Amino acid sequence: MELSAKVVLITGASRGIGAACAAAFRKGGARLSLTARSQDLLRAVGGEDALLTAGDITDPAVRRRVVEGTIKRYGAIDVLVNNAGIGLYAPSWRAPMEDARALFELNVFAPLAMTQLVAPHMRQRRSGLIVNIGSIAGRMPLPWLSLYSATKYALGAMTEGLRMELRQDGIRTMIVCPGYVKTGFQDHVLAGKPPEQMRRSRKLAITAEACAEAVVKGAERDARTVVTPAIGWGLIALQRLFPVLMEWQLARIYENQEPER
């Protein structure tokens, strides 16, 4: 996809990967519609030219305002980037149901609802791209992030299903699976913290800017799946080829350095 003059709507755009995506798409000549909870942070990211909509993306009224406002201003939505998300470091067998529901509400149901609002418009125009920001945890379950992994597995399945559902309408989908990204993710989770070994690990560490660059390049080349950094493909392959070995290794990390109870 040629991104120049395209309209790109990004959720969770006030910081981290979302803010970096805004900068990367702007550099490619795209016109931006940005949404997040903080108006001040959005203003710092979006500058004077972007459409800014502050609000909680899990609120149906906010979602409608974002989509309707974008179409009113620009007349189109060419790319939807479902980036807003949150983590939860808690065992699935005892995680508070309130936290589990909040996790799925933001990580799964909000992207689904945004897609349902945007897809009819894209179908009318017979073009568009839906980008869902997943995680490598959506390709291999991580025991210290098991419910988060479940949300990202669901997001990946939804992305691949949408690709088949909307293919005849000229709409493409792309799932992005980053590894460890240097953002404030670990400081803004619903609860808990990762094992110390994971906090120290930098084997898969990339910057938000590097992740955003991979997103933009994936959009430009019509990619189906983006794994960044590329070494993540190796871990995914190991998980598929040697699942028992990978489960043993991940369980050992969890058992030896389990998050605080």
User: Of 8, 9, 13, 6, which is closest to residue 208 (Cα–Cα)?
Assistant: 13
Give me 226's structure tokens: 């983006």
Q: Please report, to the nearest 10 degrees, the dihedral formed by the alpha carbons of residues 193, 194, 200, 203 taken in order.
A: -140
**Residue 156 · residue 174 · CB < 8 Å:** no
| Adjacency order of strands within the sheet including 225-228 | 51-54, 31-36, 7-11, 79-82, 128-133, 171-178, 225-228
By three-state DSSP, how is residue 202 classified? coil
Q: DSSP secondary-structure letter at 172?
A: E
Q: DSSP secondary-structure letter at 175?
A: E
| CA contacts within 13 A on the Cβ side of 95 | 24
Active site includes 148?
Answer: yes
Question: What is the C-alpha to C-alpha distance for residues 157 and 69, in angstroms, rounded to an integer?
Answer: 29
Count the helix, strand and coil residues of the chain and give each as a percent rounded to the nearest 5: 55, 15, 30
Beta-carbon contacts of residue 247 (< 8 Å; ≥ 6 apart)? none
**Residue 11 · residue 83 · CB < 8 Å:** yes
> Looking at 89, 148, 153, 254, which residue is catalytic?
148
Catalytic residue ranges: 148
